[in-house]
Structure 1
Amino acid sequence: YRSRLLDVCQRNDVDLVIPQTTREVGVLGNSLTSFAEQGSRIMASPNAARVNSKASLIEVMEFSPSGLSVVFSVEGLRVAAELHGYPNRSVVVKPAYSSGSRGVRIVTPEPWNVERFLSEKPSGLECDLESLSDMLACGAFPELLVMEYLPGPEYSVDCFRGEHVQIAVPRIRTAMRDGISTDTTIVDEPEMARHALAIAEQLGLTGVYGVQFKANAEGVPCLLEVNPRVQGTMAASVLAGANVIWMGVREVLGEPVTEMPTVRVGTRCVRHWLVSEIGATV
């Protein structure tokens, strides 16, 4: 992928490449020099590849009252699950490298019964610890994160940190599909915005990035993950007056941003998927 993209950039005199997925950041984040040598820039922080691992959250745990464990074995998974309250309460397990909710599981002690079977739609998210342990024992064990299940609202913060300007725009994720916000509204959460900027400063993250929080049972927002790239629904902040993506583009191309945009709190963005007569998704 990297070598072919380098070739495409060279043949087409590409000025800028904008990674949009976790996998791309992992590859391109370590290739900034290679692309720069032939005149192409990557819109990624110099340490994006390191922050791309969700395990980097260990470095900023003061922003997550629920805590976090990184495990490398089935036994480690069992110990961490108990540490975070299982079986008295549910815990969440997810890979250190993933996107779009891939690999995320809510490990719950609650058994399925006829009522749940008939009334709840299957999501594939829930499982019990024994089933998850058996499945993970069937191959190479991946690096996993284990944390308390957070039942409250989820927020995404669209951010930019440049030479002169930094801004964080929180929005509540009212509805999601495959890990992408389908209904999101810009909210006034100044403390969350401050935390999102402080987290990036502590991690050494610059440019465009996103931070996600989710409230625990007490309503306290806890750090969920940091995305060192353009997030899937950053267009919501653009519509609200803060074009953080364009700010990132300008900064990378040597035009430092000096203007602080005005954000319209309450702006709502709703995604719709339409299926055409030939079956194509629009």
Structure 2
Amino acid sequence: MLIAGRRRRGGVAVAYTVILTSVGLEMAADMIMRLRRSAAHEVRVVAVERRSDVNARHFADAFVCIDSWDPQTFAVGVVRVAEQFDADLVLPLVDGDVLALAPYAEAFAGLGCRLACNRAELVDTLADKLAAYRLFTQVGLPVPDWRAADSRERLVAAVEQMFGLYGEVVVKPAMAQSSRGVSVVRNAIHGAQEYLGSREVHMDYDTFMTRFVDVYDALFPVVVMKRLCEPVHDLDILAWEGEARCVVPRRRRNTALPNEGHEILDSQVLTDLGRDIAKKLGLSWLVDCDVMFDETGAPCVLEVNPRPSHSTVVSVAAGAPLLDDMISLARGLPVAESAGPPPALVVPYRTMDIAQT
């Protein structure tokens, strides 16, 4: 593949500059290296994080610490970084960054920089599980049976009803991230226990009703949903104006710990679902979707995250041109739909590389 022509500013050729936020994530350093080693574009990466001690800072062309958890302060800081480095693209990797940055899309555009983010109202909807499930139901995407609860009384009633129907239910706060505050109610265990080192807590029905219901007093509203069949599947979806350019289905080796390895799948069912998600939600850019199957083998959408997962590099490592094609789309270059990579098992391992000096 030929390297795309370098942009010019004032007659001087310059690399395409990508700002990557929240680089403290486990696989962020790998994503930085894959961006910088692109076979299709000459890419410069500016890494941004709220902490100054992350290892990924050594692998970027530049690193900036924005030491603030206030969304507005962080967003204004990223805008300033974009101006300082004459950036072309901002790629956020966590929901909080997307929510903070989405209202500043025009500010970035005024600098000649694109924010890899869908429209702000869709971002707000996808970040709220109740609003998202209502939208998925409205547009006809498959979801598990679910109920909304905004009080202790409604939570108890929903769990009682759903447990009676299915024997296993999941309770999750509408605004939770990374399994925070998630309870799985099932009688296959006694008492309560953390699930395989994750933030999920699994418990029997009586334990939930006597010890955990009041935990949600500070977390309402919540979603009560039918528990589906493990493992979780991820869909990496690169789309543009509602048209999928590439969909990569991958199955987690460990549902609770998604970074312990993935199997890249050749699944027409999941690929078609990814295309349907992109079309019905009018998606652009690179997003991550969580899917599980019900007992009949039908896929159900759990979440559509309004940004790529840092584990998207799993699909890139397997051969999917997700990052290269995303940059091509951002640059206005034509990108045809591409098939996902062939089936493969991709596992993480500890390695070393020469850091930037």
TM range (shorter): 0.7 to 0.9
Q: Which residue matches 2:337?
A: 260
- C-alpha RMSD of the superposition: 2.8
8 Å CA contact 2:231–2:255 kept in 1: the answer is: no
Structure 2 CA distance for partners of 1:260 and 1:108, relative to 1, 3 Å? same
Return the letter of the residue paired with 2:246.
I
Rounded Cα–Cα distance in structure 2 between residues aligned with 1:7 and 1:243: 30
Instruction: Tell me the residue number matched to 1:60.
Output: 136
Give the secondary-structure state (helix, strand or coil) at the position aligned to 2:225: strand
In the alignment, is residue 168 of structure 1 matched against residue 247 of structure 2? yes
CA distance in structure 1 between the partners assigned to 2:106 and 2:279 by the alignment: 23
Asked if structure 2 preserves the Cα contact closer than 8 Å seen for 1:182 and 1:272, the reply is no
Distance of 2:123 and 2:261 partners within structure 1 = 28
Give 2:181's aligned residue. 103
Paired position in structure 2 for 1:278: none
CA-CA distance at 1:73 after TM superposition: 1.8
Q: Secondary structure at the match of 1:30?
A: helix
Cross-structure match for 1:183: 261
Query: Structure 2: how far apart are the matches of 1:200 and 1:238?
Result: 19
Report the alpha carbon displacement of residue 266 of structure 1 after superposing the two structures with TM: 1.4
* Maintained 8 Å contact 2:173/2:219: no
For the pair 1:3 / 2:76, whether they are aligned, the reply is yes
What is the alpha-carbon distance in structure 2 between the residues aligned to residue 57 and residue 88 of structure 1?
A: 19
Give, in whole Å, the separation in 2 of the partners of 1:85 and 1:65.
17
Of residues 269, 272, 275 in structure 2, which corresponds to 1:197?
A: 275
Greater relative contact order, per chain length (Cα 8 Å cut-off, separation 6+): 1
- Residues 1-282 of structure 1: pairs in structure 2 closer than 5 A: 1-46=74-119, 47-55=122-130, 56-61=132-137, 62-64=140-142, 66-86=144-164, 89-110=167-188, 112=190, 125-127=201-203, 128-130=207-209, 131-137=211-217, 140-162=218-240, 166-176=245-255, 178=257, 180-257=258-335, 259-273=336-350
What is the alpha-carbon distance in structure 2 between the residues aligned to residue 269 and residue 83 of structure 1? 40
The 10-residue stretch of structure 1 (77-86 or 225-234) with the greater mean CA deviation from structure 2: 77-86
Q: Secondary structure at the match of 1:245?
A: helix
The Cα shift of 1:74 comes to 1.7
* Distance (whole Å) between structure 2 residues aligned to residue 193 and residue 227 of structure 1: 17
- 1:273/1:249 CA distance change after superposition, 3 Å: same
**2 CA distance for matches of 1:5 and 1:159?**
25
- Segments of structure 1 that go 5 or more residues without pairing to the other structure are 276-282
After TM superposition, the structure 1 stretch with the greater mean CA deviation from structure 2, 190-199 or 238-247, is 238-247
Give the secondary structure class of the aligned counterpart of 1:29: helix
Which amino acid in 1 is paired with 2:272? R
With 228-237 and 101-110 compared, the bigger mean Cα shift is at 101-110
CA distance in structure 1 between the aligned counterparts of 2:328 and 2:295, rounded to whole angstroms: 41
C-alpha distance in structure 1 between counterparts of 2:307 and 2:276, whole Å: 17
Q: Is the 8 A contact 2:235 2:248 kept in 1?
A: yes
- Give, in angstroms, the shift of residue 159 of structure 1: 0.8
Aligned pair count reads: 267
Q: Take 1:39 and 1:122, find their aligned partners in 2: how far apart are those partners?
A: 43
Give the counterpart letter for 1:99 in structure 2: Q
Deviation at 1:10, TM superposition (A): 1.6
Aligned equivalents of 1:273 and 1:92: distance in 2?
34
Q: Which amino acid aligns with 2:342?
A: V
Q: Distance in 2 between matches of 1:132 and 1:245?
A: 42
- Aligned-pair distance for 1:121? 6.5
Work out whether residues 246 and 339 of structure 2, in 8 Å CA contact, stay in contact via their aligned partners in 1.
Answer: no
| 1:247–1:33 CA distance, 2 compared to 1 (3 A) | same
Structure 2 residues not aligned, in runs of 5+ = 1-73, 353-357
Q: Alignment partner of 1:58: what SS?
A: helix
> 1:135 is aligned with what amino acid?
V
Q: Runs of at least 4 residues of structure 1 off by over 6 A?
A: none
Cα deviations across residues 31-73 of structure 1 (Å, max 9, x unaligned)? 2112212222211112333323222122223443532223222
Change (3 A) 1:141 1:177: closer
Aligned partners of 1:247, 1:71: CA distance in 2, in Å? 41
> CA–CA distance in 2 between the matches of 1:4 and 1:85?
47
Residues 40/149 of structure 1: CA separation in 2 closer, same or farther (3 Å cut): same
